[in-house]
Amino acid sequence: MHHSAFALQLLHSRLISQQSENPMSQPAANTFFVKAAKSVGIFVVLLVGAYIINVEIQSYLGRNAAVATGLPTHTFEQALSLAKQQSKPVLANFSAAWCPACRRLDKDVLAKPEVKQRIEQHYIFTRIDYDTEEGQTFMARYQAKGTPTLLILDAQGEQLKRLNLTFAPAQFLTQL
Residue by residue, DSSP assigns 49-90 as: HHHHHHHHHHHHHHHHHHHHT------HHHHHHHHHHHT--E
Residues 119, 42 share a domain: no
Residues 94, 43 share a domain: no
| CATH number of the domain to which 91 belongs | 3.40.30.10
Domain that holds residue 121: 70-175
Distance separating alpha carbons of residues 153 and 160, to the nearest angstrom: 5
The number of angstroms, rounded, from the C-alpha of 149 to the middle of its chain's C-alpha atoms is: 13
User: Do residues 119 and 80 lie in contact, with contact meaning Cβ atoms separated by under 8 Å?
Assistant: no
What are φ and ψ of residue 137, in 5° steps?
-65, -45
Domain boundary among 65, 91, 107: 65
Residues 165, 107 share a domain: yes
Q: Give the residue from 143, 135, 152 showing the smallest Cα distance to 97.
A: 135
What's the average model confidence in pLDDT over 34-58?
Answer: 67
Going by C-beta distance under 8 Å and a sequence separation of 6 or more, which residues neighbour residue 88? 82, 122, 123, 124, 155
Residues 93, 61 share a domain: no
What's the average model confidence in pLDDT over 122-130?
Answer: 95
Single-letter residue type at 124: I
Residues 75, 21 share a domain: no
Residues 91, 155 share a domain: yes
Residues 22, 75 share a domain: no
Count of other CB atoms within 10 angstroms of residue 150: 22
Total domain count, the chain? 2
Domain boundary among 65, 88, 112: 65
State the pLDDT at residue 97.
85
What's the average model confidence in pLDDT over 147-176?
Answer: 96
State the pLDDT at residue 113.
94
What's the average model confidence in pLDDT over 171-175?
Answer: 96
State the pLDDT at residue 2.
53
State the pLDDT at residue 62.
47
What count of Cα atoms within 13 Å lies in the side-chain half-sphere of residue 172? 23
Residues 131, 160 share a domain: yes
For a pLDDT cut of 90, what percent of the chain falls above it? Answer: 54
Residues 156, 91 share a domain: yes
The number of angstroms, rounded, from the C-alpha of 50 to the middle of its chain's C-alpha atoms is: 16
Residues 142, 123 share a domain: yes
Can you give the pTM of this predicted structure? 0.65
Reported as a single tens digit per residue, the pLDDT across 50-88 is: 566 655 555 455 455 555 667 888 899 999 999 999 999
